[in-house]
Amino acid sequence: MDSQIDWHAARAALEWQLEMGVTEAISETPINRFEQVAPPPKAGVGPGVAAPIVPVQAAPEVDPVAEAEAAARAAPDLIALQAAMAAYRHCELQKGARNLVFCDGVAGARVMIVGEAPGRDEDRIGKPFVGRAGQLLDRMLAAIDLGRDREGAQAVYITNVLPWRPPQNRDPKPDEIAMMLPFLKRHIALAKPEVLVVMGNISCQALLGKRGITRLRGQWAEAEGLLVIPMFHPAYLLRNPSAKREAWADLLDLQARLTKKA
């Protein structure tokens, strides 16, 4: 058998390779044909070509008040309401507070007192009206035979518009009141008092939509389907002892109204 390569066959093979685009028979550097070949770039992406712009979908807008209303409405009792308030994350006051100040006294009492917001002592202990203002409130209530530690017709129930202490005891902001108002309204509905005592401007603003406690105090109103009497906050009375005369008149009016309803 002739081992010589046929010249005509070799020429034909070379011409075929030239037609197929082969220009070099031997490369200057070795090529590993087993290496994975990188996939070709996607259309429109590569050096000098801008990547396609993918529109970013905006996060759904959150309505803190609507979420508060839904959470409050879903609470079947006071324990569940307290848990719902603790789980509510839209009020920034929660981040700087030690405790959620929910209530004190006897749930179901005829009289429900609504204060403004916890102070330093309330934040530390976790109950409303436990500082100097709270001690004065206890004396005021005792003067008309009421108290947070009493039972039956002499019992009272106490809460605040806000459950968390504002920094440096500043006044609550309108958006903070709006966020917590659904919880307060549900609180009132679950506690089922006969009479509401709203103490201070913040409480009047939340439940009556009005400010100006010196003008509002002592004038019976209605909120959440209940009788409401606005009164000076005990902290105001500590700063303005001369106003205790009006506060005493309001207490006597409250006592007379409770006696009439009994």
Tokens of 196: 């509401």
Are 162 and 180 contacting, i.e. CB atoms less than 8 angstroms apart? Answer: yes
Residue 164 to residue 122: CA distance in whole angstroms: 9
Residue 173 to residue 204: CA distance in whole angstroms: 14
Percent of the chain surpassing pLDDT 90: 75
Residue 167 to residue 7: CA distance in whole angstroms: 99
Tell me: pLDDT of 72 over 70: yes
What pLDDT, on the 0 to 100 scale, is given for residue 1?
Answer: 47
The mean pLDDT value of the chain amounts to 89
Task: Tell me the pLDDT band of 56, cut-offs 50, 70 and 90.
Answer: low
What CATH code is assigned to 65-261? 3.40.470.10
Residue 164 to residue 126: CA distance in whole angstroms: 9
Residue whose token pair is 């001690």: 135
Residue whose token pair is 């324990």: 79
Residue whose token pair is 């429109």: 44
Tell me: pLDDT of 138 over 70: yes
Task: Tell me the pLDDT band of 254, cut-offs 50, 70 and 90.
Answer: very high
Q: What DSSP string describes the chain?
A: ---SPPHHHHHHHHHHHHHTT---SS-SS---TTSPPPPPPPTT-BTTBPPPPPPPPPPPPP-HHHHHHHHHHH--SHHHHHHHHHH----THHHH-S-----EE-TT-SEEEEES---HHHHHHTSSS-SHHHHHHHHHHHTTT-BTT--GGGBEEEEES-SSPPGGGPPPPHHHHHHHHHHHHHHHHHH--SEEEEESHHHHHHHHS---HHHHTT--EEETTEEEEEE--HHHHHH-GGGHHHHHHHHHHHHHHHHHH-
Q: List the chain domain ranges.
A: 65-261
The whole-model pTM stands at: 0.77
Task: Tell me the pLDDT band of 50, cut-offs 50, 70 and 90.
Answer: low
What pLDDT, on the 0 to 100 scale, is given for residue 143?
Answer: 97
Beta-bridge partner residues of 105: 157
pLDDT in tens, 207-231: 999 999 999 999 999 999 999 999 9
